Amino acid sequence: EPEVTQTPSHQVTQMGQEVILRCVPISNHLYFYWYRQILGQKVEFLVSFYNNEISEKSEIFDDQFSVERPDGSNFTLKIRSTKLEDSAMYFCASSEDSQNSPLHFGNGTRLTVT
Amino acid sequence: AQSVTQLGSHVSVSEGALVLLRCNYSSSVPPYLFWYVQYPNQGLQLLLKYTSAATLVKGINGFEAEFKKSETSFHLTKPSAHMSDAAEYFCAVSVYGNKLVFGAGTILRVKS
């Protein structure tokens, strides 16, 4: 069964550094998402992306965050200047459509900001 | 705004016993409801979803959930727990699109 793949599985970075989290969604999916889970807290929606633009974003997704689909297969989340509070598990997800098809999640990237 | 409350952050059952994980939702419009499972070091896997068709939804691995509008509940059940069911389970709600609002999760422990 096709799956969403995320790299790296664990990223350690220093505060103030830029990080790029990478995802390869399922090939025939059109909608892409980033969610995150801070340790001990709920999984939270960050952003959804369709047709090469952001379709919705949460309050968390401020100017420090950006997403991009640089080619036909990758979907990236960039954090420009990481803060300690950005430490979390970041999940990429994709779906065939925006309503009726389920999200397929990757295994996540654990980001640790020191 | 939508919200989800999962009662019990930890649930422990014996192998072969009934599994019942509770989820209550709040939504001003008819919701879509989901249960996801997360095994250690893995992503979230969809167990089942309710999208306004049948109120009793059957999912993978023998799990099912019943949508009860009057109780605003969507509890997850499995008649007989297996050791492999040990994981964290998340209830989620959405109204439009795939912007899911998740509950805090329930860790299921299965005792032999």
Q: Which of A87-91, A97-101, B10-14 has the lowest mean pLDDT?
A: A97-101
- Judged by a CB distance cut-off of 8 A, whether residue B31 touches chain A is no
Interface contact flag, B99 A104, Cβ < 8 Å? no
pLDDT of residue B40: 85
Q: Among A24, A36, A45, A101, which would you mutate to test the B interface (most chain B Cβ atoms within 10 Å of its Cβ)?
A: A45
What 8-state DSSP symbol labels residue B41?
A: T
pLDDT of residue B1: 80
Residues in chain A within 8 Å Cβ distance of B103: 42
For chain B, 112 residues long, give each residue's pLDDT as a single digit of tens.
Answer: 889 999 999 999 999 999 999 999 998 888 889 999 999 878 899 999 998 778 899 999 999 999 999 999 999 999 999 999 999 999 999 877 678 999 999 999 999 9
| Encoded tokens for A87 | 């430490």
Residues in chain B within 8 Å Cβ distance of A46: none
- Judged by a CB distance cut-off of 8 A, whether residue B29 touches chain A is no
- Rounded to whole angstroms, the Cα distance separating B108 from B85 reads 7
- Judged by a CB distance cut-off of 8 A, whether residue A75 touches chain B is no
A65: CB partners within 8 A, 6+ apart = A46, A47, A77, A78, A79, A80
- Rounded to whole angstroms, the Cα distance separating B88 from B104 reads 10
pLDDT of residue A24: 97
pLDDT for A11 beyond 90: yes
Q: Evaluate the CA torsion angle A61, A64, A70, A74 in order and state its sign.
A: negative
Least CB-CB distance to B103: which of A42, A48, A55? A42
Inter-chain contacts counted by CB atoms under 8 A, chains A and B: 54
Residues in chain B within 8 Å Cβ distance of A104: 46
